Amino acid sequence: MKPSSLLLLGGLVWFGLGFGPALAEPVKGSAEVQELLELNGGERQYQQLLGMMTQSLETSFSAGLAKALKDRPIAPGQRQQARQILDRNFARFIREFQQQMQQLMPWERLVSEVYTPVYLRHFSPAELAELLAFYRSPAGRKFVSRNPQLVQDASEAIKKLYAKQMQGRAEQLTEQTLKQIASELDGLK
């Protein structure tokens, strides 16, 4: 058999046995999980998560700023201009960080990569249907009791999937912003 025929045969076996890339078929139960998240305000919680991450960044940004400005005394007459520079650049930093986080882990991606697998691990399709229809049913009570674990599992999955990338992007963006601030402050002299 020719080497090219062996490659073709190997590829067919690979894909035929299900080891190749999956076709874009929706996961059974994913529509139910998506609807459940919509009903429960999941996207609002996602926006709150981004807000908490932003607040956390303020602390690290302030520490980095203090370090960068340690050897840069600012004359009393230039403090207002310096404050405007800091405020403008910090606002840009926050906007860029939020844009990058929404690009890295947009809501739709979290639903498919994090929440759907977590919910499908905890609930059967029949239970999902009951949750959608009857929040006060036995399945609804199960949802309420499992909700803290769902949130914990999703948080752990987000950390596992995105923490290093988020930290790297935040550090890079912090460095760029601090350089810009330093450059603009140098222009005050």
In order, the DSSP letters of 115-142 are: IHHHHHHH--HHHHHHHHH-TTSHHHHH
In contact, 174 and 61? CB cutoff 8 Å: yes
Give the pLDDT of residue 182. Answer: 86
In a domain, 116, yes or no: yes
| Residue whose pair of structure tokens reads 């400005």 in the numeric block | 69
Q: Which domain holds residue 129?
A: 27-186
What is the tally of structural domains in the chain?
1
In a domain, 8, yes or no: no
In a domain, 38, yes or no: yes
| Residue whose pair of structure tokens reads 């239970």 in the numeric block | 127
In a domain, 21, yes or no: no
In a domain, 3, yes or no: no
In a domain, 7, yes or no: no
Which residues of the chain are modeled with pLDDT < 50? 1-24
| pLDDT, tens digit, 9 for 90 and up, residues 62-94 | 777 777 777 777 788 887 888 888 888 888 888
Residue 54: burial class (beta carbons within 10 Å; 0-12, 13-18, 19+): middle
Give the pLDDT of residue 135. Answer: 58
Distance CA 186, CA 86 (A): 13
